Amino acid sequence: MKVILFFLYASLYLNCIEGAVTLPQNASVQAVIAFGDSLMDQGNNNHIKTIFKANFHPYGMDFTNGNPTGRFSNGKTLADFFAKGFGVKEYLPAYLDPLIQHKDLLTGVSFASGGAGYDPLTSKLSNVMSLSSQLEMFKQYIQKLKGNIGQEAAMNRITNSVFLVSAGTNDFLVNYFTFPMRRLQYDVPAYGNKLVKLASNFLQEIHKLGARRIVVFSTSAIGCIPIERTLAGGAQRICVDKYNKAAQFFNSMLKLELQVLASNLPQTRIAFSDFYKPLMNIIENPQQYGLEVTNRGCCGTGELETSYLCNKRMTRTCHNDSNFFFWDSLHPTEKGCDIFVNLVLPDMMKKLF
């Protein structure tokens, strides 16, 4: 008895030093819940009216049976590889999938909607589900879980879930740098600050609903995404410095805010997952990762086609997408996702547990 008490006190004491986190250190991840944009959309957009869809060929050509599922990839997405990396399951389903079953809900779903952003205007411009509608679906999901396994077991599951949040890219690329509304209201630092506040509010909302281990992805090197090289990178299709600078500014503000938030939210781990540096590293050193092409996608010319423009009439689609980081002009291939998750998972585990 004394020995047990000693360990109990010792571990409480150690946990205090670490910032009052008393979440079980070795708890297994019971579910993965994803929010945000097309990097995490597992097919939700199939069920809404928007042009941002990926439920037709050649999307999904390397998926089981070669079926397009609405994932913005030739196969699996980042969300799938994270679900597997956390030891939960091979495929993270879309919450709106009509074939979804009780047992699928237990181990997590994605609420993400391709085209969404932190800024509600971004989701509105793309006619997709904003983070606040995603939050409403999450509340509905919690009610379903409670109905299935009871209040306590449901909340226990939420506590032991990992939450993935991916947004920000569309706020800059689809909204700020494409339409004039936000540019007239904000310069880049002010808009970045607005996005960080919106991100923080969203994270506090999911925390209120029970989220305790949260991964927030930074924006990537958005100026090096193939479509942006084509539209704004000149004849050489170089990375667009202005976009990368905006991403870097936003990311550094986001990182600071997450540190503040984590210290204010009891019993919560928030991991900032940098997408910028790993992507830059892959783009600049493809061979190191077993890749050949990182400046254009595989679908069609790879320089412009995404969503409806990447379709089965594309004749120039590359022969082997395993050599490409990008699948279409915006989204990574299954191989790219695999490489990225392997690169960031160890550090993420350290930050979450």
Ligand X SMILES: *[C@@H]1O[C@H](CO)[C@@H](O)[C@H](O)[C@H]1NC(C)=O
Active site residues: 38, 328, 331
Stretch that binds ligand X, among 25-33, 144-152, 234-242, 245-253 (CB under 6 A): 25-33
- Considering only the stretches 22-30, 68-76, 180-188, 227-235, report the one whose residues sit in contact with ligand X under the rule CB under 6 A: 22-30
Nearer CB in complex with ligand X: 204/322: 322
**Binding region for ligand X (CB under 6 A) out of 26-34, 101-109, 169-177, 179-187:** 26-34
Return the SS3 of 295. strand
**Minimum CB–partner distance for residue 353 and ligand X (Å):** 11
Rounded to a whole number of angstroms, the minimum distance from the CB of residue 323 to ligand X is 5
Find the binder of ligand X among 6, 320, 342, 347 (CB under 6 A): 320
- Say if CB 70 and CB 76 are below 8 A apart: no
Helical H segments across the chain, by residue range: 2-17, 78-85, 102-106, 120-126, 131-149, 151-159, 169-170, 180-185, 188-208, 226-232, 241-264, 276-284, 334-352
The conformation of residue 92, written as its DSSP 8-state character, comes to P
Interface pick for ligand X out of 322, 343, 351, 353 (rule CB under 6 A): 322
Q: Residue 164 belongs to what H/E stretch? A: strand 161-166
Nearest to 61 by CA among 276, 340, 322, 253: 322
- Per CB under 6 A, contacts with ligand X among 193-232 are none
Of residues 28 and 101, the one with the C-beta less far from ligand X: 28
Shortest CB 27 distance to ligand X, Å: 5
Q: Which of 4, 26, 65, 101 touches ligand X by CB under 6 A?
A: 26
> How far is the C-alpha of 66 from the C-alpha of 58, rounded, in Å?
9
Which residues, listed in sequence order, are joined to residue 332 by a DSSP beta bridge? 326
Report yes or no: 41 and 70 within 8 Å, Cβ to Cβ.
Answer: yes
Residue 166 or 294: the one with the smaller Cβ distance to ligand X is 294
Nearer to ligand X, 230 or 322 (CB): 322
| CB 157 to ligand X: min, Å | 13
Tell whether residue 287 is a contact of ligand X (CB under 6 A): no
Q: List Cα–Cα distances, 219 to 111, 122, 139, 256, in angstroms.
A: 19, 15, 26, 15
Smallest gap from residue 55 Cβ to ligand X (A): 25
Residue showing the smallest CB distance to ligand X in the complex: 320
Enumerate residues 107-146 that contact ligand X by CB under 6 A: none
- Taking the least distance from each CB to ligand X, the nearer of 143 and 288 is 288
Strand order in the sheet with 31-36: 31-36, 161-166, 213-217, 269-273
The residue among 257, 228, 248, 217 whose CA lies nearest residue 341 is 217
Options 90-98, 128-136, 140-148, 320-328: segment touching ligand X (CB under 6 A)? 320-328
Give the integer Cα–Cα distance in Å for 238 and 133: 37
CB of 47 to ligand X, least distance (A): 33
Q: How many C-beta neighbours within 10 Å does residue 229 have?
A: 21
**Binding positions for ligand X, 95-114, rule CB under 6 A:** none
Q: Print the binding letters for residues 28-67 with ligand X: x by CB under 6 A, - otherwise.
A: x---------------------------------------
Closest to ligand X by CB, 285 vs 320, is: 320
Residue 323 in the binding site for ligand X (CB under 6 A)? yes
Q: In this structure, which amino acid lies at residue 308?
A: Y
The whole-angstrom separation of Cα 43 and Cα 68 is: 9
Q: Tell me which stretch binds ligand X (CB under 6 A): 23-31, 37-45, 193-201, 211-219.
A: 23-31
d(CA 247, CA 243): 6
Under a CB-based contact definition with an 8 Å cutoff, are residues 331 and 41 in contact? no
CA 263 from chain centre, in angstroms, equals 23
Nearer to ligand X, 65 or 101 (CB): 65
In the complex, the residues that contact ligand X under the rule CB under 6 A are 26-28, 320, 322-323
